[in-house]
Amino acid sequence: MTINLKNFLNTKPKISKMGEFQELKPIDGLEISSYSADLYKNGRDDIALFYFKEGANYAALYTTNSITSQTIEWNKKSNKSFTKGLLVNTKNANTFTGDNGLESIDVLAKNLSRILTIRESKSDEGVSETVKIKDLLFASTGVIGEKFPTEKIVSSLQSLVDKLRDDHNKLIWIKTASAIMTTDTKPKLAYEEIVVGNKILKIAGIAKGSGMIAPNLATMLSYIFTDADLSSNILKSLLKRAVANTFNAITVDSDKSTNDMVAIFSTRKIKIGQNRSLDDPIIQKFELALKKICSNLAKQVVVDGEGAKKFITIKIKNAKSLMSAKKIAFSRANSPLVKTAIAGEDPNWGRVVMGIGKSGEQVDKNKLSNKFGEFEVTDKGKVSDNYDEQKLKEYMKWDSILIEVSINQGDSEFECYTCDFTHDYIDINADYRNPS
């Protein structure tokens, strides 16, 4: 196996707050690979392929931005629940590229279909059907509005297919997750197992995301794979529920991408009965594991927010409704004043109070209470009697900050995750179109 060391070199240091990479095991029925199509100057891997020799059930959720990439348009037009493969490229978003952008996907589909079909026809098992164009999915991430590099990617497809492996160990997973990164400083991976009788169900997930991150499906690219035999309808329902308080509970800069996509694929290798309902204990067990995967990946995206130094949790308690709690939480999480104060390790709780009021929700300031971590800041419309500025200053030096607000107008709550704003965020985005 040839290792492209350039995939692991990063000139933008970042303190990791999520620990070491998990050990991801192979998913039976899935083959993966990555390759450099020379889209970046440094020669790093920039395209990735996920191939299902026997096909896979899948479900996907896409950005709610009214402007979407040509790859998303292609996927939606297929309107299918079965796929043979997913091709992902970085560096170029294939958004606002007009007819040329759609034509480029068609060219990629025809060439990839041909190469995969030839590969399968040479296999010892033979081939029952060709890899059809309509059974292929695509995803892109990168700069909006630039001509799509069709020729470079097409010329790299044979090498990408030749590198497909089904014995994908931890290193292969890391390589592939690295290949879909843009301004990310590290790949994002998560893994869970479920024991059902004498069977072990595996779930593996990767994600990319660092900037242009805001809720409403799906805030970045994320792909989740399982060998559990689940129907597309069940997968769709489970994914929607898992995303609600994970991927849709994060924000870096309040900007919602044109290319966001979260998808889950079932290779159908471990039979558990497709006709199980959402209330089935096995499905509930699977759902819990899926939520852990999504939560893990979502938090990794926030930790790796462009220029971020601190991970911030905003928790709203006792709100009059879930919608109200969400509005207040994101009003605070998206406030540049709040985020820069935290970056400067300044316990400027007045900005936090401001963030509650600007949400548009009617709150009674005389009922509000605020805490930073375990430290009480405000209580019933005034500074708490227990407020200690020095202790709060020390707390603001932590890598992980919790801001908790009790609205005291109901029993609904919501928790979202964000990061601070540093000068590095400006530097990264000022130079976004010229990454090495």
Residue 380's CB is within 10 A of a number of other CB atoms, namely 12
What 3 state SS string does 35-58 have?
ECCCCCCCCCCCEEEEEEEEEEEE
Distance CA 199, CA 228 (A): 10
Identify each DSSP E strand in 11-135 by its residue range. 31-35, 47-62, 82-89
DSSP 3-state of 316 = strand
Distance CA 53, CA 375 (A): 55
DSSP 3-state of 435 = coil
Is 219 annotated as catalytic?
yes
Closest by Cα among 116, 115, 92 to 104: 92
- 259, 68 Cβ separation under 8 angstroms: yes
Helix (H) or strand (E) holding 227: strand 221-228
The H-assigned helical ranges of 304-378 are: 322-333, 336-343, 349-357
Q: Which of 219, 258, 267, 418 is catalytic?
A: 219
Phi and psi at 129, nearest 5°, equal -155, 155
**Residue 344 CA to chain centroid, in angstroms?**
27
Phi and psi at 226, nearest 5°, equal -140, 150
26-62 burial string, b = 16+ CB within 10 Å, else e? bbebbbbbbbbbbbbeeebbbbbbbbbbebbbbbbbb
Distance CA 327, CA 356 (A): 9
Question: 225: Cβ–Cβ under 8 A, 6 or more apart, which residues?
Answer: 27, 30, 50, 203, 204, 205, 264, 265, 267
For residue 163, is it left (φ>0), alpha (ψ between -120 and 50) or beta?
Answer: alpha
Angle 94-215-78 from CA coordinates, rounded to 5°: 45
Could you give the residue numbers annotated as active site? Answer: 219
